[in-house]
Structure 1
């Protein structure tokens, strides 16, 4: 797919979206609460590894759309859940099931591009890490750094389970429409609310750098 490269978002605005990414996602969850994303009930079919995992790290937990369906499938799991939007973490902690999990869910605020996750998650303890529509919200140049930070929490043989947007998606076509000043870089766009989205190809060269 040939992407429209002009007009791009001016550099000073692109820098603002990078510097205030947490602010825009915090506003997103304040505005939408738990009404935007649906609970994810496809893990048994798509990520069966989660059914046997004793310790799970959910990166970009949002309002808990992964955390609480997963607890239903694997009630014995311990789940660390992080997001860099404080309002999202507040929604997880306010969920009725959070108080009844006997401490098996630990939700915390973290910027995975900058923070050391092992402050909250013991290093080398995680059996499976989920990143569902998370990396797409991060600048491409920061993705290898993010994965290295996540890797410090994983035990040998653990798996990172990833789902995200693909290049050619209808949403990308709308964002790249002629005349829209929403492109930050190749396959990388800003939405009207300040949140960002990267659209992946099947082979991403940055993975080799992690």
Structure 2
């Protein structure tokens, strides 16, 4: 499939912003809204709906393979041999599959908070007949926004080398004493070269995002890349939410209990730079598509970002 189908500038985001902000019928999207639940209550309320969601969509037909992924993130193809990728929120494997197919040199560690999703992704990947898959694909159950990542990603003795220290002004630095010793360790994998956050962060409440991004930072090798794609502000799906579905500012709850946040570039920048990352790329993807059922044009907005952990 052509890249233009997925990542293009079919329209200007600022023109859409002006249109939305001047439409009285959409004014409720612009009004500040304080969440009614505490962080602990949010954690309890968010996990079960996603388990139920993956159970309902057990066939995997709900998702399409993200074939655009390697075009948007060519680093996943041109990386060094034995590079490690951590796919956070793998779902049924729509992100994992093109990575494993596109690069036989990488090892992918895929996690999800849903055991249903992990069963589906294993079925999908092992049915694909990818070369040496048994050595290059590993799954584990984890809700990185609550419990954090398991210690073997960067085991307890090694974890100290990945921890962030703050200078009190919101800036963070990381330290690694001996990367070669981590590679030889039998109790951990010594950190990952890439983290992919593809339509995962938006499923969390805004309150839980900083901790989640810090977790990603902590298990990455210095110089590693975090690859980000998620829903952008004023995306068509945001504008379809009714007023009673708002659970926070730019946060909405679907009828099945799952939630979605819609990102501005400023919010994404603040979140990732606040965790210590360096911004390499950050922009809106504005794509027009046509609904085959009714012929209506749809304006989709996604945020595309690349962030690096300092060396």
The reply on whether 1:101 has 2:133 as its aligned counterpart is: yes
Contact conserved, 1:188 with 1:199, CA < 8 A, in 2? yes
In the other structure, the counterpart of 2:100 is: 71
Aligned to 1:192, which of 255, 259, 276? 255
The structure with the largest strand share of the pair is 2
In the other structure, the counterpart of 2:191 is: 125
In the other structure, the counterpart of 2:265 is: 202
Inter-CA distance 156–15: structure 2 relative to 1 (3 Å threshold): closer
Please identify, of 76-85 and 96-105, the stretch whose mean Cα deviation from structure 2 is larger. 96-105
The 1-side partners of 2:263 and 2:125 are apart by: 35
Query: Shift of the alpha carbon at 1:44?
Result: 2.4
Size of the aligned set, in residue pairs, is 206
Deviation string, structure 1 residues 10-37 (Cα, Å, up to 9, x no partner): 8369986641312101111110121111
The reply on whether 1:4 has 2:55 as its aligned counterpart is: no
Inter-CA distance 17–193: structure 2 relative to 1 (3 Å threshold): farther
Inter-CA distance 31–120: structure 2 relative to 1 (3 Å threshold): farther
TM-score (structure 1 length as normaliser)? 0.88
Query: Shift of the alpha carbon at 1:181?
Result: 1.1
In the other structure, the counterpart of 1:157 is: 223
Gaps of 5+ in 2: 1-19, 22-26, 156-189, 276-311
The 2-side partners of 1:135 and 1:71 are apart by: 22
Inter-CA distance 96–67: structure 2 relative to 1 (3 Å threshold): closer
Gaps of 5+ in 1: none
Aligned to 2:46, which of 11, 21, 31? 21
Higher relative contact order (CA 8 A, sep 6+): 1
The 2-side partners of 1:9 and 1:174 are apart by: 20
Aligned to 2:214, which of 148, 161, 165? 148
Please identify, of 11-20 and 107-116, the stretch whose mean Cα deviation from structure 2 is larger. 11-20
The 1-side partners of 2:266 and 2:213 are apart by: 16
**Structure 2 counterpart SS, 1:130:** strand
Contact conserved, 2:39 with 2:207, CA < 8 A, in 1? no
In the other structure, the counterpart of 1:40 is: 66
The 2-side partners of 1:112 and 1:48 are apart by: 26
The 2-side partners of 1:88 and 1:97 are apart by: 14
The 2-side partners of 1:13 and 1:141 are apart by: 9
Inter-CA distance 156–164: structure 2 relative to 1 (3 Å threshold): same
TM-score (structure 2 length as normaliser)? 0.61
The reply on whether 1:135 has 2:194 as its aligned counterpart is: no
In the other structure, the counterpart of 1:170 is: 236
In the other structure, the counterpart of 2:118 is: 89
Deviation string, structure 1 residues 144-199 (Cα, Å, up to 9, x no partner): 10011111111111010000001111111111x3xx41101110000011000000
Instruction: Let me know the Cα RMSD of the aligned residues.
Output: 2.5
